[in-house]
A and B are shown apart, each in its own frame.
Chain A
């Protein structure tokens, strides 16, 4: 039995700090480190997430082996209750840390929206099963890692770079004696190796910030009312062995009720394991030392979910109905040809079902080629990764994105498999391509083409240049059988603005519907 004495909440805080540091460490290590194999399990946070495990399993109608660590936390929650939310969750720790900066506007600890998360969970799970994968829009880790990877972390680098560029260019030498080693140290440790640029940087940031702004309504508002991971843990915690007990004969100071960050304690000082995240504040702050957590507390009544049946059924109905609207859109008939999925991506429907929008692949992408999709894959494809080859290309000898994907939406490929995985095909725009349009020699694309037998070849062609001279010039063309769609040609095309060579999803391995026209068998 846990008794007070040593301050329990200090242990909890220590655990939060350590887990958060571990989280940041793994986040920063989600990067190339001198070998193509990542030395750390950088995606572990997503693989211990039971909500994502259930959602992804429902979506793919299969048990996802990668997600087995989530069973450990289901088991631990069955014993201890929602300890994860109070002791481990990095999002919860951030909210706790920011509490004093974002105080609640109105007094009271009513926990008015606690049921919402269950309705949302029902909606998300049935939606996932029927083909509307939206788990990643509400999962706290997806929101957090995506927000950090797409906006906060790159912004941090902009800040550091502009500061140290200023000192480097404008400050006297003695200042640089201090700042340059500092910059070098930061680059070694916490700053990214290169400046990344991302689509939807603001949107990702805004969604993350919203969770903090909601603290104005109630403390840990997101955790109490929205978090689907919390909802899964709450359901398990309903049956947890360890639970808290309030004092029966006490002075009714209501300290515990006020102090509870989850609004888990009612007027009668019942501590609901559905909400309690075991932060231990009440134990430490009860003036009469009346509150304790333990295993043999049979007299504590099992809590009720107190859901409205009508609302719950409505949310299920919504989750059931919406997926059928998705196929009414034009994109069901003709998908965006510039939607290039990373190598190893499953067929589109299965890919979206499994993708939890965590942003890990975009964080690790060594060429800054993977970008979050906005609406071109539909509302169910928001934030899913796509190769945007004008910003960056898919590095030929790199397989990192498949290694970090926590759900197998991107299969982990061997290098040999990667080399023959066709994610798209390039097309030349002869109206823009210099050797065709202007008779200017170029073929930068051919130079960079990485396949050992180059997919981009050239032939000498005669062109009238702008001086009306007929000249011979090397003109590039693509051999479809060799092109894997890595997009380095599009990235490196020296034309300003739009590239004269563009990757499309045509010919991608994962979709036979997208096969390129061929006169004979390709392989």
Chain B
């Protein structure tokens, strides 16, 4: 099955025409495409606008992922009612830069949203992301709260620990899905990185993901396939994650990590915490399912 078929199923289901739950089975051709060595780029700098452009350069620049006329979803982590310096949410300037670069690349529509953990309006406002989005005066940008009507049940055909999830429609239908997580501590998954950030497109009772979280995140990653993962490590949360609240737990790194391979990006970002990729269960599970590379020595790591 290819993506086009899947999106058609989603459309039919949403319109009430079809009652069969949309199913997604990642095709072998997609997996084969990942066989070339994964490229991970990382860069350090204070000017986040330039930093975003710089870190994407070795990957071919934003234009390789956002084509003219694309519908783009940019999915930051803004799950918590915390301020930017508390390092619980993606830095607003990183999101802003990414949106602006994507607009420049000719995106037709850019959608920014997250399903939050704390009260959603408070999260959007206090993460600083709402204000950052408001400052971009461009009609092609839409930032909004998820609409409960738009979660679609999806069969995860390759799922090992979960076989059906409710997923936000816009995330499925977008031409380009860009994942912009923040790298931070999490006591169950050890770290939350790209794969964990995808939970923000899920509806329903997400707490159930925690029972065998690593495998379930890998299962989710078979359906939510970001073309690009940009990991915000401008400041990282070392303890009391995922929401923190104490500035003593925050370390400033001014670093971004980017990769088209969702597993490789996570794997490299893990080293920023002085940990090895195999310490993160979701990375290992996703690697075993063939969703990406986790061995640092088999990736091409470029400092930009």
B149 and A168 contact, CB distance less than 8 A: yes
Q: Evaluate contact between B117 and A448: CB separation under 8 angstroms.
A: yes
Give the complex CA separation of A367 and B118 in angstroms.
Answer: 9
Total A-B Cβ pairs within 8 A = 82
Interface residue A328 (Cβ < 8 Å from any Cβ of B): no
User: Which residues of B sit under 8 angstroms from A170, Cβ to Cβ?
Assistant: 16
Kindly list chain B residues whose C-beta atoms are within 8 Å of the C-beta of A367: 119
- Given A169-B14, A395-B81, A454-B240, residue A494 in contact with residue B208 (CB < 8 A): yes
A398 & B188 in contact (Cβ 8 Å cutoff): no
Residue B84 is within 8 A (CB to CB) of chain A in the complex: no
Report how far A224 CA is from B64 CA in the complex, Å.
75
Q: Do A458 and B245 touch across chains, with their CB atoms under 8 A apart? A: no
Return the chain B residue nearest A451 by Cβ: B245
Q: Which of A25-56 contact B (CB under 8 A)?
A: 32, 34-35
User: Contacts A32-B121, A444-B210, A447-B188 given: A452-B149 contact, CB under 8 Å?
Assistant: no
What is the number of residues of chain A that contact chain B, defined by CB distance less than 8 Å?
A: 34
Known: A442-B211, A444-B210, A494-B208. A474 touches B121 (CB 8 A): no
Partner of A169, one of B15, B118, B242: B15
Residues of the B chain whose Cβ atoms lie less than 8 Å from the Cβ of A447: 117, 186-188, 210, 242-243
- A residues 185-206 touching B (CB-CB < 8 Å): 193
Report the bound CA distance from A493 to B207 in whole Å: 7
Tell me the nearest residue of chain B to A495, going by C-beta. B207
| A380 interface hit (Cβ, 8 Å) | no
Contact residues in A for B242 (Cβ distance below 8 Å): 447
CB-contact partner of A494 in B15, B205, B212, B243, under 8 A = B205
From B15, B122, B208, B240, contact of A366 by CB (8 A): B122
**Smallest CB–CB gap between B20 and chain A, Å?**
15
Chain B interface, >50% SS class = loop
* B186 contacts across to A, CB distance below 8 A: 447
Say yes or no for A434: interface residue by CB 8 A criterion. yes
Which residues does chain B contribute within 8 Å of A423, judged by CB atoms?
none
Closest CB of chain A to B254's CB: distance in Å?
23
Q: With A396-B81, A434-B211, A454-B240 as given contacts, are A474 and B122 in contact (CB-CB < 8 Å)?
A: no
Interface residues of A in 479-498 (CB under 8 A from B): 492-494
Chain B residue nearest in CB terms to A443: B188
**Interface pair B119/A442, CB less than 8 Å apart:** no
Residues in A whose Cβ lies below 8 Å from that of B14: 169
Which of A169, A447, A494 gathers most chain B CB within 10 Å?
Answer: A447
Q: Are B211 and A474 in contact (CB under 8 A)?
A: no
Chain B contacts of A193 at CB under 8 A? 121
The answer, among A169, A395, A443, A454, for a CB contact under 8 Å with B210, is A443
- Taken residue by residue from 468 to 479, chain A's Cβ proximity to chain B (1 for < 8 Å, 0 otherwise) reads as 000000100000
Task: List, in ascending order, chain A residues with CB within 8 A of B246's CB.
Answer: 452-453
What residues of chain B lie closer than 8 Å to A446, measured between beta carbons? 187-188
Within 8 A of A (CB), among B90-140: 117-119, 121-122, 125-126
Out of B16, B81, B117, B207, which one reaches A442, CB within 8 Å? B207
Q: Interface code B1-31, partner A: CB below 8 Å = 1, 0 otherwise? A: 0000000000000111000000000000000
Q: Report B-chain residues with C-beta under 8 Å of the C-beta of A440.
A: 211-212
Question: What 1/0 flags go to A481-517 for Cβ under 8 Å of B?
Answer: 0000000000011100000000000000000000000
Tell me if A494 and B207 are in contact (CB < 8 A).
yes
Q: Is the CB of A169 within 8 A of B16?
A: yes
In the complex, whether B213 has a CB less than 8 A from a CB of chain A is yes
User: In whole Å, how far is B10's beta carbon from the nearest beta carbon of chain A?
Assistant: 13
Give Cα distance in the complex from A458 to B186, angstroms.
Answer: 12
Chosen A-B contacts, 6 in total, with CB atoms closer than 8 Å, are A367-B119, A442-B207, A443-B187, A443-B188, A450-B243, A494-B208
Top 5 nearest A-B pairs by Cβ distance? Answer: A494-B207, A452-B245, A452-B246, A444-B207, A366-B119
Apart from the given pairs A34-B125, A169-B16, A444-B210, 8 other A-B contacts in the complex at a CB distance below 8 Å? A32-B121, A169-B149, A440-B212, A441-B213, A447-B243, A458-B187, A474-B188, A494-B211
